[in-house]
Chains A and B, each alone.
Chain A
């Protein structure tokens, strides 16, 4: 029996627009993944603790507020503190091209600006999800 990929879709910070996050959540569900969605306005610590308790393989961050350069490093720090460095972290939202190198440097593996294809996201996750994290 294959184990379904578990994904946490989280919205850090103060923006309240979660249409994009919900569309991604639904697409991943339809692709056979178990998707946990926690709603808007999550703190970096609560995102990391949810990822910990839910034992997810993937964390998808959605952000439209422009605070990604501040919030994402915080989230990565909290993940590290919880020994969750194995989790595949990806992000989407309003993220200027110029910011992408910095975000990749802190460990975010892929960044999806508006207009990204859902198929691409699904296949990226499938190809890069950490293997057998239960061993």
Chain B
């Protein structure tokens, strides 16, 4: 089975890649572990572009325009992440609507993902999915997320280049500041520049942009109109500039080392939680602590100390 998966992925067989993403996303026992062993045993040469911004800024339209402009010899994987419904766990994944012209392109693979909020976010599988595309020797992976503080992973932890997209009509540029997007953006894209307010938005961004004096990368602003494919050449050129900067300054290596560190940290926390913490929270003694807190006969800290002590005992064993 794992041999079929490995060969299929390396042959860029879309059916196998799609199945493998599901295996990783659903953490299918044994198979997902063996698959991870395979895909992480390769050096990533894939360029990861992260695209974030408020809903309605035009991220999917931008991706469509960008990928259509890019060299059709390049293998491109697109992962679009939409939020899941907190109540039902279901999700409506509609990013493909704006990307319909890409469906017939043989070099493009699109996968829609829910952030699976109630299961603890998409953070565990997105790293794996990017690595899977690397293993399949894809040239580029584009990750699209809503960037308004609702996604649990920081796009900056996975992308080589972070692109923040906004549009004048989404008006409130303050949202970009609030969401902490100014700090992580390598480039800002103002989309829908035909609408009123584009100038003002650019001014606001320039005022709040961090300025670098030590020769490191200063974020760039690019103004486009994605649905008319206006200024896509400037956008491509800016992406290229950032890639060149990353390579020249050995940033690709540094960034990827940081990404790896975070990935490993996530996996350890995840496994540690299910192995050591969750079982203790199921115990009667912990239930009793909860009961006592509500009754006012025990404190919050006592319950925490109880759990920590139990973990220590288990770990020592």
A binds B: yes
Interface residues of A (CB under 8 A from B): 1, 3-4, 25-26, 28-39, 41-43, 45-46, 49-50, 52-55, 82-83, 133-135
Chain A residues near B92 (CB-CB < 8 A)? 25-26, 29, 35, 37
Q: From residue A8, how far is it (CB to closest CB) to chain B in Å?
A: 9
Q: Which residue of B lies closest to A6 (CB)?
A: B22
Measured CB to CB, the residues of B under 8 A from A are 14-15, 17-19, 21-23, 26-28, 31, 84-85, 87-94, 96-97, 100, 103-104, 109-112, 114, 116, 119
Please determine whether A134 and B97 come into contact, CB atoms closer than 8 angstroms.
Answer: no
A-B contact pairs, 17 of them (CB 8 A): A32-B88, A34-B112, A36-B96, A37-B92, A37-B93, A38-B97, A49-B14, A49-B103, A50-B110, A52-B18, A53-B17, A54-B110, A54-B112, A82-B15, A83-B15, A134-B22, A134-B28
* Closest A residue to B109 using CB positions: A53
Query: Which residues of A are found within 8 Å of B87, using beta-carbon distances?
Result: 30
Instruction: Give the docked Cα–Cα distance between A33 and B94 (Å).
Output: 14
Looking at the complex, which one of B18, B26, B90, B91 makes contact with A1 (CB distance below 8 Å)? B26
B19 and A134 contacting across the interface, CB-CB below 8 Å: yes
CA distance A51 to B137 in the complex (A): 22
Asked whether, in the complex, the Cβ of B88 is within 8 Å of the Cβ of A30, the reply is yes
Give 13 A-B pairs besides A35-B92, A37-B92, A133-B19 with Cβ atoms closer than 8 angstroms. Answer: A4-B89, A30-B85, A32-B88, A35-B91, A37-B97, A38-B96, A43-B104, A49-B104, A50-B110, A52-B14, A54-B110, A54-B111, A134-B23
**Contact present for A37 and B15 (CB under 8 Å):** no
State how many angstroms separate the Cβ of B282 from the closest Cβ of chain A.
16
Question: How far does the alpha carbon of A1 sit from the alpha carbon of B125 in the complex, in Å?
Answer: 14
Chain B at the A interface: mostly helix, strand, loop or mixed? mixed
Cβ-defined partner of B90 (8 Å) among A30, A43, A45, A83: A30
> In chain A, what residue has the closest Cβ to B114?
A34
A43 to chain B, nearest CB (A): 8
Most-contacted residue by chain B among A42, A53, A134 (CB, 10 A): A53
A29–B21 contact, CB under 8 A?
A: no
Q: Smallest Cβ distance from B212 to chain A, in angstroms?
A: 39
State in angstroms the CA–CA spacing of A15 and B14 once bound together.
29
Question: Which residues does chain A contribute within 8 Å of B22, judged by CB atoms?
Answer: 3, 55, 133-134
Return chain A residues, CB-CB under 8 Å to B116. Answer: 4
Residues of A within 8 A of B15 (CB): 52, 82-83
**In angstroms, how far is the closest chain B Cβ from the Cβ of A20?**
15
CB distance from A3 to the nearest CB of B (A): 4
